[in-house]
Amino acid sequence: MIQKTHAPKRRSDGSRRNAVAVVELAVCLPVLVVLLVATIEACVMLQLKQNLAVTAYEGARVGIIPGIEADTVEYQCQLLLDDRNINAYTITLDPVDPQTMDLGEEFTITIAADCAANSVIGGMFFDGKTISESVVMRAE
């Protein structure tokens, strides 16, 4: 009977594969993390835009009521914005005093918010940008 002797296996193949995997991880992981953070930040900005639109709509609904004061409209908008944790916003009414409107006249409310102040990661992607939403309704 002939016996075969096996040469010892070299372990360099496994260690080379591990080294390649580490390099791949070092290259791909930062790209994936940036992509993930950018996606989350974009979703936060879309939610901010939607919240501003809803708040402007609700403010316009209040603003077209006959005899309503501008302070009441702004207060209603501030309540909604604060409830949604929106920071650094401005509320603009046109006309400035809704009490002066006649039946059928247009009332416009514009709400703008700074993106960096409402960002999850401090505005790295949206620094210096503002999101704004307007709603126009006719006075009742």
pLDDT digits (tens, 9 = 90+) for 24-39: 888 899 999 999 999 9
Which pLDDT tens digit goes with each residue over 56-112? Answer: 999 999 999 999 999 999 999 999 999 999 999 999 999 999 988 899 899 999 999
Asked if the structure places residue 4 within a domain, the reply is no
Asked if the structure places residue 82 within a domain, the reply is yes
pLDDT of 11 > 80? The answer is no
CATH code of residue 23: 3.30.1300
pLDDT of 10 > 70? The answer is no
Asked if the structure places residue 76 within a domain, the reply is yes
Angle between helix 70-83 and helix 12-63 axes, rounded to 10 deg: 160
Contacts of 37 (CB under 8 A, 6+ apart): 121, 124
Asked if the structure places residue 115 within a domain, the reply is yes
- Tell which residue, 137, 50, 47, has the closest CA to residue 93: 137
Asked if the structure places residue 5 within a domain, the reply is no
What is the count of structural domains for the chain? 1
Please give the helix or strand (H or E) that residue 93 lies within, else none: strand 89-94
Asked if the structure places residue 133 within a domain, the reply is yes
pTM: 0.80
Asked if the structure places residue 3 within a domain, the reply is no
Q: Tell me the C-alpha distance between 20 and 37, whole Å.
A: 26
